[in-house]
Each structure stands twice: as C-alpha cells, then as structure tokens.
Amino acid sequence: MVSSVTNLGRSGVYDWLIQRVTAYVLALYTIFLLGFALTTDVNYDSWSALFGQTWFRIFSLLALLSLGAHAWVGLWTVTTDYIKATLPRFLVQAACGLAMFVYVAWGVQILWGL
C-alpha cells in the first residue's frame, strides 16, 4: 500500500470515499444551478438574491470545499501514478496544493466578503 503524507484520506478507501462524496455534492450543486438558470430570469437581482441567502452561501462553500478536495485527490492520484521521481512529484503536488489553497481562500473571500 502506498503511504504518503500528501494524500488526503491516508488510504485508498478514504480517498475513494472522498471522491464519491464530493462528486455527489458537486453534482447536486450543478443540478441546482442548472435548474435555477432554466427556471428563473437570471439577472443581477435574481443572482444577488440567491447568493444573499445564507443557506445558499453555505451550499456554495460546501461545493467549493468539495471541489478542492476532489481536485486534490484526483491530482494526487495522477501525480503518484505518472511522476515516479520524488522531487518533481513533490514540486508538482506542492504547486497544485498552493493553487487550490489560493482558489479556496479566494472563493471564501468572494462568498462571505471577508
């Protein structure tokens, strides 16, 4: 079994579970947004009203965190499978982790105005 400090779930079963749960969250979020766009006249006022509701901000935050976790597990798997040398793999994983951290922090700032 591959054991690494850079994987999120610390084992293949947990990584698999993280992928599945986050995929469901992202699918629900996408379906909701598509339904909203198809059934509502989307303009600034309706969009602002949607994002002004606390439950939707929490749902968006959950989707944002799910996207980060889903992407990390996927990128960790790909880099572990295809980049065999330790230093280049670590550098790619560090760059991906830093980018995901920045995107999640930026998303939280956009959602909550922090």
**Got the DSSP string for the chain?**
----TT-SSSSHHHHHHHHHHHHHHHHHHHHHHHHHHHHS--SHHHHHHHHTSHHHHHHHHHHHHHHHHHHHHHHHHHHHHH--SHHHHHHHHHHHHHHHHHHHHHHHHHHH--
Backbone dihedral angles phi then psi of residue 93, each to the nearest 5 degrees: -65, -40
Percent of the chain exceeding pLDDT 70 equals 90
Which pLDDT score, from 0 to 100, does residue 5 have?
52
At 3, is the pLDDT very low, low, confident or very high (cuts 50, 70, 90)?
Answer: low
The annotation status of 103 as a binding-site residue, yes or no, is no
Mean pLDDT of the chain: 91
Domain ranges of the chain: 12-112
16-54 pLDDT tens trace: 999 999 999 999 999 999 999 999 999 999 999 999 999
The annotation status of 29 as a binding-site residue, yes or no, is no
Average pLDDT rounded to a whole number, residues 78-101: 94
Among 1.10.132.20, 1.10.260.40, 3.40.250.10, 1.20.1300.10, name the CATH number for the domain at 12-112: 1.20.1300.10
Average pLDDT rounded to a whole number, residues 54-70: 96
At 76, list the tokens. Answer: 């960790």
Which pLDDT score, from 0 to 100, does residue 9 have?
58
Which pLDDT score, from 0 to 100, does residue 32 have?
98
